[in-house]
Structure 1
Amino acid sequence: MAINTGNATELLQTQVAKVLTKPLEAQSVFLASGPVIYDTAGPLRLPSLGGPITDPGWTGEGETIPTRDVDFGDVSLLPSTMKSVKVITKMSEEIVRQAVVSLETAVRQRLVTDVASKIDTQFFGASGDGVETPRGLFSWLGTQTVAAAGGLTYDVLLAAWSKALSANVNMGSLKFVVTPREFVTLKGLKDGDGRYLAQPDPTLDSVYRAFGIPIVVTPRIPDTTGGTPTGRAALVDFSQVAVARDLAPSVKILNELYAGTGEVGIRVQARYDVAPVNPSAVVKITGITIPAA
């Protein structure tokens, strides 16, 4: 069913999935990096291995198999107190009538851009309490840390990789996450023969790798605050990061609210939460010196 201002007040869930949910997975840098996404109608609890794995031992034929308790923890996502991403976007009726693309396409482009920006800013951030707002990557507890104590170099990335390898990571899901500023710094580093160390993946357009690990570039990673701010980066096994997504996001066409100005409002409400299932599979790189402007 096509979307237009005459026949749609609130979009059906199938329309919301087409207009917002699925395109958002592709446009949001965080969601596109490969976290495990769970659709849920309410609070979600995921089991996590809370302690060291108990040695199962060797048991001979006919011998009693020993019983061992395993310490499981849990990760709680999307509590009832979690706030929603809410935005109202206005479009003039002239644009709606004269657009060379359908209203559905226009709605999708506008909403996906707005919501993806909000989600990436929060999920890659250093704020949030996990109660009313999602904790950002740089506020997650229990993660590992590498101090750069200078500019971001391949030695620092290698140190982060070394720590990640000790955390039972999935090598195929590891990704370096850096800002455009740090990426340009890495891209400019050369070996002794003058060749750039960061090489593009010949099988994927616009994908660069370090030690075979993809480099994800996003401007949503915040610098620290204070008198001498420093930069941040991270190495993340996204297969051990969980995202909870509300089963019932809503998109509503507001025909009357802005009638006096000849505009149509589009309101979106969606709830998301994020947390690492295995925090030690996340290595934060801190203390990166910011080059002088």
Structure 2
Amino acid sequence: MTIQTPGNNPSLTAAEVAKLLVQPLEQASSFLAAGPQIIDTAGPLRVPRIASGASAAFVAAGAQIPESAPTFDEVQLLPSTLKGIKSLTKLSAELIREATHTVGALDQVISTRLVTDVSNVLDTALYDGTGASDTIKGIFRQTGITTGVLDLADPDSLIDGLAAAQGNHVAATHWVMTPQSFAALRKLHVGTDDARYLLDPNLHEGTQFTLFGLPVIITDYIPNTGTAPGKARVALVDFSKVIVARDQSPSVTVLDQTFGDYDTVGIRVTARFDVGLLSPKAVTLLTEA
């Protein structure tokens, strides 16, 4: 790994620069903010659930009541083999000292930046992780979710998605879609000769976007699928049925002795999460035909 030094970072040690460090533009972390159930655990987590309930029937007075029993299964999260998300950056002591007058405590700035980078990787995995090689399997890849057809030129396809969720007795809490998909829906007009927008603009005031009464999460973490340019996807999610196992939130460790022979400070950020669905029907995923 390359150690960051004053020589290869002259912009941080110039004599006259503003005392700030401009961060790249990026989307905010949205998955955990949507309100899933979070359970802290240091080991594997098993969440029992009722797969099917007991049956009931009308029984005459004095007649034998038929026996019935619920069946159970479980959601298993955070297996011991699940990998964590980790990042390590090394800064020379000279760079930290010489950049202090430029950007403040550079090690603190970098620590904050690394936490953001780890959170971005986490969001990607929680939404759409493949689960390959002992990594997180996101909610859009879970077995048994409801699927449907999306047509960004016809809002009826979204209503069909709502109907599918309601038919599964799911009270969806959020739409999840990319900025491009949301823009395509907002651009729909009443008719060829009527320039009014089909969706009421009042539903999209400020940054609190809604569609059909539900808040919209705008994120790049629901990428298109299929061949280029790809098929757009829109998800309808009941986040109250989403469960997150958290072994470790993004945590920062400053390694001020490990690389002492290089007079270098290491900054390590680690996190370990897993995600599952209390009911697979909590997710309705619509994909363009």
TM over 0.5: yes
CA shift digits 1:245-280 (9 cap, x unpaired): 005864210224566877532101221101111001
Question: How far is 1:287 from its partner?
Answer: 2.3
* Equivalent AA in structure 1 for residue 177 of structure 2: V
Check if 1:177 corresponds to 2:180: no
2:135 equivalent in structure 1: 133
Return the alpha-carbon distance in structure 2 between the equivalents of residues 236 and 71 of structure 1.
25
Find the residue that maps to 2:158 and give its secondary structure.
helix
Question: How far is 1:184 from its partner?
Answer: 1.0
Count the aligned residue pairs.
257
Question: How far is 1:181 from its partner?
Answer: 1.0
Return the alpha-carbon distance in structure 1 between the equivalents of residues 62 and 41 of structure 2.
46
Matches within 5 A, 1:189-200: 189-191=188-190, 194-195=196-197, 197=199, 199=201
Question: How far is 1:226 from its partner?
Answer: 3.3
Change (3 A) 1:256 1:221: same
C-alpha contact 1:41 1:248 (8 A) present in aligned 2: no
Give the TM-score normalised by structure 1.
Answer: 0.75
* Equivalent AA in structure 2 for residue 156 of structure 1: S
Check if 1:115 corresponds to 2:118: yes
Return the alpha-carbon distance in structure 1 between the equivalents of residues 114 and 158 of structure 2.
35
Matches within 5 A, 1:228-267: 229-247=230-248, 250-256=251-257, 264-267=265-268
Question: How far is 1:180 from its partner?
Answer: 1.2
* Equivalent AA in structure 1 for residue 138 of structure 2: G
* Equivalent AA in structure 2 for residue 270 of structure 1: A
* Equivalent AA in structure 2 for residue 141 of structure 1: T
2:42 equivalent in structure 1: 41
Return the alpha-carbon distance in structure 2 between the equivalents of residues 94 and 185 of structure 1.
49
Change (3 A) 1:135 1:259: same
2:16 equivalent in structure 1: none
2:76 equivalent in structure 1: 76
Give the TM-score normalised by structure 2.
Answer: 0.76
Change (3 A) 1:168 1:265: same
Question: How far is 1:63 from its partner?
Answer: 8.4
1:85 equivalent in structure 2: 85
Question: How far is 1:207 from its partner?
Answer: 1.3
Check if 1:221 corresponds to 2:217: no
CA shift digits 1:113-145 (9 cap, x unpaired): 11111011112225114x711112331110111
Return the alpha-carbon distance in structure 2 between the equivalents of residues 223 and 264 of structure 1.
40
Indicate the structure (1 or 2) with the bigger Cα radius of gyration. Answer: 2
2:273 equivalent in structure 1: 272
CA shift digits 1:185-220 (9 cap, x unpaired): 112123356035154558x85111111011111012
Question: How far is 1:225 from its partner?
Answer: 3.7
Change (3 A) 1:59 1:151: same
Segments of structure 1 that go 5 or more residues without pairing to the other structure are 1-26, 289-293
C-alpha contact 1:231 1:286 (8 A) present in aligned 2: yes
Return the alpha-carbon distance in structure 1 between the equivalents of residues 259 and 251 of structure 2.
19
Return the alpha-carbon distance in structure 1 between the equivalents of residues 253 and 276 of structure 2.
29
Return the alpha-carbon distance in structure 2 between the equivalents of residues 168 and 34 of structure 1.
19
* Equivalent AA in structure 1 for residue 96 of structure 2: E
Return the alpha-carbon distance in structure 1 between the equivalents of residues 138 and 98 of structure 2.
36
Segments of structure 2 that go 5 or more residues without pairing to the other structure are 1-27
C-alpha contact 2:129 2:135 (8 A) present in aligned 1: no
Return the alpha-carbon distance in structure 2 between the equivalents of residues 154 and 89 of structure 1.
46
Return the alpha-carbon distance in structure 2 between the equivalents of residues 236 and 257 of structure 1.
44
Question: How far is 1:73 from its partner?
Answer: 1.3
Question: How far is 1:75 from its partner?
Answer: 0.5
CA RMSD of aligned residues (A): 3.2
* Equivalent AA in structure 1 for residue 83 of structure 2: K
Return the alpha-carbon distance in structure 1 between the equivalents of residues 226 and 98 of structure 2.
41
Change (3 A) 1:152 1:140: farther
CA shift digits 1:228-257 (9 cap, x unpaired): 631222111011011100058642102245
